[in-house]
Chains A and B, each alone.
Chain A
Amino acid sequence: MSLRAVGTIYAKELRDSLRDRRTLVSMIVIPTFMMPALIIGAGKLASTVVTKARAEIPRIMIVGGADSPGITSEIERTGKFTIVPTTPDWKALISDKRIRAAVEIPPGFERALGSGAAPGITLYTYEGELKSSLAEEELNAFFSRLRSRTTARLLAERGLPASYARPFEVARTNVAPPEKVGGNLLGGIVPYFIVIICLMGAMYPAMDLTAGEKERGTMETLLCSPVSRASIVLGKFLMVLTGSLTAVVLSLVSLGGSVVLAGLAIGPGLGGQAAAGPSGMTIAPLGILGVLAMVLPVSVLFSALVFSISLFAKSVKEAGSYLTPLAFAVILPCSTGLIPGIELTLPLALFPIVNVSLVCKEMLSGVWHWGYITVIFGSTAVYAAAALALAVWMFRREAVIFRT
Chain B
Amino acid sequence: MIEARLLTKVFRDRRKGDIRASDGVSFRVEPGTIYGLLGANGAGKTTTLRLLATLLKPTSGTAVVAGHDVVLEPDKVRASVGFLATSTALYARLTAREMIAYFGRLNGLGGAALSERIRTLADQLEMHDFLERRCDKLSTGMKQKTSIARTLVHDPQVMIFDEPTLGLDVMASRAIVRFVRECRGRGKTVIYSTHVMSEAEKLCDVIGVIHDGALRAEGTLAQLRASTGETDLEECFIRIVAPGDGQ
Contacts and interface: CB of A to CB of B under 8 A. Distances in A.
Interface of A: 5, 8-9, 12, 15-16, 19-20, 216-218, 220-228, 398, 402
A155 B137 CA distance: 93
Nearest to B102: A12
Nearest to B94: A16
Contacts of A20: 93
19 contacts: A5-B106, A8-B102, A8-B105, A8-B106, A12-B91, A15-B94, A217-B86, A220-B85, A220-B87, A221-B89, A221-B103, A221-B150, A223-B55, A225-B78, A226-B107, A227-B106, A228-B75, A398-B56, A402-B55
Contacts of B94: 12, 15-16
A224 B75 contact: no
A221 B100 CA distance: 12
A217 B56 contact: no
Contacts of A402: 55-56
A220 B53 CA distance: 11
Main secondary structure of the interface of A (DSSP, over half): helix
Nearest to B91: A218
B57 A221 contact: no
A369 B78 CA distance: 52
A221 B78 contact: no
Interface string B83-97: 101111111111000
Given A221-B89, A225-B78, A402-B56, 14 more contacts: A15-B94, A15-B98, A19-B93, A216-B89, A217-B88, A217-B89, A218-B88, A222-B106, A224-B88, A226-B78, A226-B108, A228-B75, A398-B57, A402-B55
Given A16-B94, A224-B55, A217 B87 contact: yes
A5 B79 CA distance: 13
A16 to B, nearest CB: 5
B200 to A, nearest CB: 23
B81 interface: yes
Interface in B27-51: none
Interface string B56-84: 11000000000000000001101101010
Contacts of B107: 225-226
A5 B108 CA distance: 8
B55 A226 contact: no
Interface string B142-170: 00000000100000000000000000000
Contacts of B88: 217-218, 220-221, 224
Nearest to B78: A226
B53 A224 contact: yes
A60 B89 CA distance: 73
Nearest to A217: B89
A16 B78 contact: no
